[in-house]
Amino acid sequence: MSNLKSQIRVAILGYGNIGKAAEEAIKTAPDMELAGIYHHDDCLDKISNVKSQISNDERPVDVVLVCTPTREVQKFASVLAARGICTVDSFDIHGQIWNLREALDAVCTVNKSVSVISAGWDPGTDSMVRALFMAMAPKGLTYTNFGPGRSMGHTVAAKAIKGVKNALSMTIPLGTGIHRRMVYIELEEGAEFKTVEAAILADDYFAHDETHVIAVDSVDALNNVAHGVNLVRSGVSGETHNQRFEFNMEINNPALTGQIMVSAARAAFRMKARGEFGAKTMIELRPIDLLPGTIEQNVKALV
C-alpha cells in the first residue's frame, strides 16, 4: 500500500468549505497525497504564480481540484489544462455546463490532459443516477427533489434585498420537482418586515415558488450544511410500464462535494494515463475509475 499512497499527487486551489472538505478526502484516500493548497485569494490575477508554484514542486502535480467560486472555474481550469495538468471542478450552473465542457475539451485535447467538470452531487453523482435510471427505463418521468437544505443562489438573492442584514433560504422538497422556499432573515435596524417580505416575494428567485419569509434574531444560529435529494423515476422498460426507481440521500453538503471531487481526480488521473484526453462530465466516467484498488478487487467486492 505504501507505494500506492504517493501514486496520485493532488493539489487544492481555493480553500473554502469545499477545499477544506477535499483536503480531508485526499488525506483519507489510500492512493493519494496532498501536493499543495493554493489559496484562491493569492491566485486571483496571479495565475502565473500558481503555475510556477506548481511547476517548481519536486514532483509534478497530477490533478488540481479547482475549488474556487463556480464562475472562476473556467479561468483556472483552462490555464492548468493547458499545462497538461488534470483538473476537477464542481461547476454547478446547469445551463452552462455544455459550454464549459466544449471550452475545456479543446484545451485538454491539444495539451493531453483531462478535466472532469461538474463533479459534485448535482450536477455530478445525481446526474449519474439520472443516466442510470434512463438506461433502466428509457421512457417516463424523472423528478429531482432537492433538500431540505440551504440554497446558495436563493440565499444570495435574499441577502441582496434592501433591509435584509443576513438571510438563509432553505429549499424544501414538495415532490414532482416542486420546492418550497423557507427564507429566514435578520432585518436591518429600522427595516419594516412587511416591506422586506413583499420585496422578497416579488423577487424573480422567489416569485414562482411557494415562499415563506420568517424574521429571526440570528441567521447564524440556523446555519447547517445538511442537504439531501430524493430522485424518483417511474418509467417503461421495453414495453413494461410502472417500473419504479428512487434514490435518496441525506448528507453534509461540502463533505460530499469534496469527496466526489477527490474520487473524480482518481478517474482523471487514470484516463490521462490511458490517453483518454478531454473534458468529461460525471456521466462520461466509468464508476470503477472513481474507486481505489484494482479492477479485480472492485469487481469481486461490488459486482
Point out which residues bind its own copies (CB under 8 A): 21-25, 27-29, 94, 97-98, 101, 118, 121, 123, 125, 127-132, 134-139, 236-240, 242-252, 255-256, 258-260, 262-263, 281-288, 290-292, 295-296, 298-300, 302-303
Alpha carbon of residue 252 to chain centroid? 13
Tell me which residue of 302, 269, 292, 294 sits closest to 65, measured CA to CA.
269
Q: Among residues 163 and 292, whose Cβ is nearest to its own copies?
A: 292
CB of 6 to its own copies, least distance (A): 18
Q: Does a cis peptide bond (omega within 30 degrees of 0) precede residue 123?
A: yes
CB of 176 to its own copies, least distance (A): 17
Q: Among residues 50 and 235, whose Cβ is nearest to its own copies?
A: 235
Residue 188 carries which DSSP code?
P
CB of 261 to its own copies, least distance (A): 10
Q: Among residues 127 and 171, whose Cβ is nearest to its own copies?
A: 127
Tell me which residue of 282, 247, 223 sits closest to 173, measured CA to CA.
247
Q: Among residues 131 and 199, whose Cβ is nearest to its own copies?
A: 131
Q: Among residues 203 and 284, whose Cβ is nearest to its own copies?
A: 284
CB of 170 to its own copies, least distance (A): 19
Rounded Cα gap, residues 301 and 295, in angstroms: 10
Rounded Cα gap, residues 104 and 164, in angstroms: 39
* Contact assessment for residue 88 and residue 108, using Cβ atoms and an 8 Å cutoff: no
CB of 262 to its own copies, least distance (A): 8
Rounded Cα gap, residues 14 and 136, in angstroms: 38
CA max distance for the chain: 66
Residue 72 carries which DSSP code?
G
CB of 271 to its own copies, least distance (A): 11
Q: Among residues 173 and 197, whose Cβ is nearest to its own copies?
A: 173
Q: Which residues contact 167 (CB under 8 A, 6 or more apart)?
A: 155, 158, 159, 161, 183, 184, 185, 186, 219
Q: Among residues 103 and 134, whose Cβ is nearest to its own copies?
A: 134
